[in-house]
Structure 1
Amino acid sequence: MMKPDSSIRIVDPPPSGVRLLWDGLCSLRKPRLEGPPRLPDEHLVRPAAELASVDIARYARACGFRPEHGVPLSFPHTLAFPLHLLLLTSPTFPWPASGMVHLANRIRQYQRLEPGQALRLEVHCERWVAHPKGQAVLIVTRAKGDGSLAWESESLYLRRGVNAPLGEPWQGVLDLDEAALVRTQRWSLPADLGRRFARVSGDHNPIHTSWLGARLFGFPRAIAHGMWTLGRALAAQQPPRPLEVAQLTCEFKLPIFLPGSATLWNVPPTGTRHEFEVRNLTGDKPHMRGLFIEGERP
């Protein structure tokens, strides 16, 4: 529920990727925070974001979905992501957007999504979350079709190094039976994967798109987008038909460096419950852990 003092801002059309990248660079100059951080109270609304067939097809090719999957469960995140960046680069957000780490994502779909459908997107910062490594913020996205809730997500972003973080302590919710995991796929990730997925997703963070940009933020070379890893793993779980009702929970672990390799591991599925983990080539380090459930109302 929206707080009484919250403000609503209509974003139509969304800013371009170049504009968002520029805003992200400008946000590096935010003044040093004095005192506890204040949670932004602005609600951003995109009144009619189209599930465009051409964009769905480009996203599907980038992540490995097939045409019979219809609208991938993770695709609406690409429509909402520009609004996430607008919140994180806003003067009211206490830290620069660059350097925020995507920790986890939870997605729920309540009805079948159709190509050509228009969704009303509503995005806001829900609450602070205390993390052992710093301050995390939960950004909530709700997508409505014909007035009813069709899809929603919770994205958790972390600012490292913040002392005395606010909010309830964060605890990972995924506890897989590692002894039951079996390697099912091996992936080869090309050096330009970050640039290719940036064009599809709108996430042009330089840690994904250039060696120099990655080095500036402490990485030896570019790293794969977490949401690409999620999409690629989900494509291997999703049945070959459009989804009606489904939910997905994931936690991001270690980055995948580009170029590189990764492996997908699965617990033998139980009914419509699919537990999985993306690991490095040798299988001893985790990159992402996830749970996908189809047909069970969230």
Structure 2
Amino acid sequence: MLELAPFIEAATPLRALGVVVSQNGRETARHTWEGACRRNIYSASKSFTSAAVGIAIKEGLLSLEERLVDAFSEELPVTVLENLRKATVRDLLTMCLGQPKAFLMGEDRPYYPEKNWVRLALAQPFSYEPGTKFVYNNVGPYLAGILVQRRAGCDLVHYLMPRLFEPMGLRLPTWETDPLGNTFGAGGLFLTMDELHKFGLLYLQKGNWQGRQLVPESWVRESTSKQAENGGHGYGYLFWGGEHGSFRADGKYGQFSILMRDKNAVVTIVAESREADKLLAAVFEHIYCRL
């Protein structure tokens, strides 16, 4: 078994709640500070929306090159700027949509008077040409999730139940909704640490789960490869790049499922940390180097 004591010492004051490590197809370490329960995984939810987009593309429901002005033609602002005209589904996934600042963020969502968040989001400025500037923003993954839901005719939870959740043994999860009842694909999915870990393992296994290809292998590879420069290790399709070529689902306060392909390993953490960056650094300092 992997020695976790140095990581536990570093992670305890950072309010880690649990960590599990798998390598070469088996669990090699686990430690919990609190009992298991479903918790908000915050923006790690975005990576599940990415998976839904990949599945929907395979099913012919949408395309990365589809323009937003066509996909959301009924909810466009009165004046459609040229940058909005250029924006595509791909731009929703890379945080390079062209909007200058974050929108639909957690501290703001309860206070919007407008109930139609698609219309609200598209009415925000598009100051940059899409694909040219990384700005972390909930609008992209929200709209991507909305598009899957509209084309599939059901919410994201029920779209993913037969395609992802049930095959991996996950019971119906709770996922935040917008005022009109649409799944909020940018955040608000509630999972246990082990359920989040299964998702990391699925991606380490190139989208295959017990012999069944749940997410197209090409999509797994593409979405967890650098698609945008972000001043750090790059960004995929709603996955963050990290040290040593790693990619991860990443949520506020330290919800991580980290793919370490060079080690054939996944490290998953849940936490209530105000210093999630330090918690992530501790993973590479005390776990990665021992794999």
TM-score (norm 1): 0.28
More strand by share: 1
Specify which structure has the higher proportion of helix. 2
